[in-house]
Amino acid sequence: MTLAKPDSATLSRTEITFAAFTPDHIPGAMRLSQAVSWPHRAEDWALSLSVSKGVVALAGGQVVGTALCSDSGPVATLNMIIVDAALRGRGLGRAVMERIIDLAGSREMRLVATTDGLPLYEKLGFKAESRISQHQGQARAISGESSVTTGALEDIARLARMDEAASGLSREGLLRKIAENGEILIVDQGFALLRDFGRGKVVGPIVAQESVSARALLSEAARRCEGRFLRIDLPEDSGLSDHAEALGLALVGGGIAMRRDARPVRNTEFKTFALVSQALG
């Protein structure tokens, strides 16, 4: 789907207004995400919006800025923050961020920053914590026995408790929405979700107590996607990057995980080995 870019000169002379992000704004938001080479389909935008409140900046009826604030209980994940290139340098990015921060309220805020966005986020009180590595490619299977089974929707409440223990994010509703149209992979004391996204499939989150379980979940996702495009977003301490590359998923970039108003980290037996996505944590 190709969307025409508005004339830059016209945009620069147009008054900018702000509105709540609604499903009607998704086509305009897609124009912005395509312009910065993000792979999100309309369905991917809709999934994020279904668990979020958001803001759009409008100029001459065109969407020229977006941001979402996704509800994860005590944590708000800020995501899909894009400003039209024709309007950068005018303070629009800061104006959008201030509005989305207001939506987050007093909660801990998390986001994954690009290098370009890092200076603004630091000025707004966010602190860089770690890197996120994006791996993707044509998946290939590795032979060997698997301990992974297929889960069902009735497992989601239990899996959401594992996810919350690992991440501090309360998001049973999001995991259920993903599972309704995806696959649930389960090991003893661990799980992963596999779904359609962008150019093919994405696996995430991967939550487990042990790295051997996380490796098994990733291997099973690659087996189910063999010969097709698969993506995964890994925290730098996941220990899965080499395994992802062995499965055909090359390192192609990533982002910087940041927090504001961070809450104390809880001790837990569970660990997040892969994110739902860079947008949703």
Whether residue 246 is found in the same domain as residue 140 = yes
Confidence band of 96 (pLDDT split at 50, 70, 90): very high
Residue 124 counted as domain residue: no
Mean pLDDT score, 219-241: 97
Residue 43 counted as domain residue: yes
Higher-pLDDT residue of 114 and 67 is 67
Convert the pLDDT of each residue in 193-227 to its tens digit.
999 999 999 999 999 999 999 999 999 999 999 99
Q: What is the pLDDT of residue 100?
A: 97
User: Looking at the predicted structure, is the pLDDT value of residue 12 above 70?
Assistant: no
CATH number, residue 178: 3.40.630.90
Whether residue 23 is found in the same domain as residue 137 = no
Mean pLDDT score, 123-134: 97
**Average pLDDT, whole number, for the chain?**
93
Give φ, ψ of 44 to 5 degrees. -70, -40
Report the relative pairing of strands 200-208 and 190-197 from DSSP bridges. antiparallel
Buried b (16+ CB within 10 A) or exposed e, 209-245: bbeebbbbbbbbbbbbbeeebbbbbbbeebebeebbe
Q: DSSP letters along 104-145, please? A: HTTSEEEEEE-TTTHHHHHHTT-EEEEEEEEEEEE-----S-
Structure tokens at 37: 């080479």
Confidence band of 265 (pLDDT split at 50, 70, 90): confident
Q: What is the pLDDT of residue 13?
A: 52
User: Looking at the predicted structure, is the pLDDT value of residue 7 above 50?
Assistant: no
Angstrom distances, CA of residue 278 to CA of 91, 176, 179, 180, 227: 24, 18, 18, 21, 24
Higher-pLDDT residue of 194 and 12 is 194
* Domain interval for residue 161: 133-274
User: Looking at the predicted structure, is the pLDDT value of residue 93 above 60?
Assistant: yes
Whether residue 139 is found in the same domain as residue 239 = yes
Q: What is the pLDDT of residue 8?
A: 44
Share of the chain above pLDDT 90, in %: 86
Mean pLDDT score, 65-87: 95
Confidence band of 145 (pLDDT split at 50, 70, 90): low
Confidence band of 156 (pLDDT split at 50, 70, 90): very high
- pTM value is 0.92
Mean pLDDT score, 103-127: 95
Residue 156 counted as domain residue: yes
Structure tokens at 230: 């698969």
User: Looking at the predicted structure, is the pLDDT value of residue 10 above 60?
Assistant: no
Mean pLDDT score, 262-279: 92
Whether residue 182 is found in the same domain as residue 56 = no
What is the tally of structural domains in the chain?
A: 2
Structure tokens at 188: 């003893």
Angstrom distances, CA of residue 231 to CA of 45, 151, 221, 237, 240: 17, 21, 10, 18, 13
Residue 255 counted as domain residue: yes
Contact present, 16 and 93 (Cβ < 8 Å): no
In the block, residue with structure tokens 């147009």: 14
Contact present, 51 and 70 (Cβ < 8 Å): yes
Confidence band of 73 (pLDDT split at 50, 70, 90): very high
Residue 66 counted as domain residue: yes
Contact present, 70 and 100 (Cβ < 8 Å): no
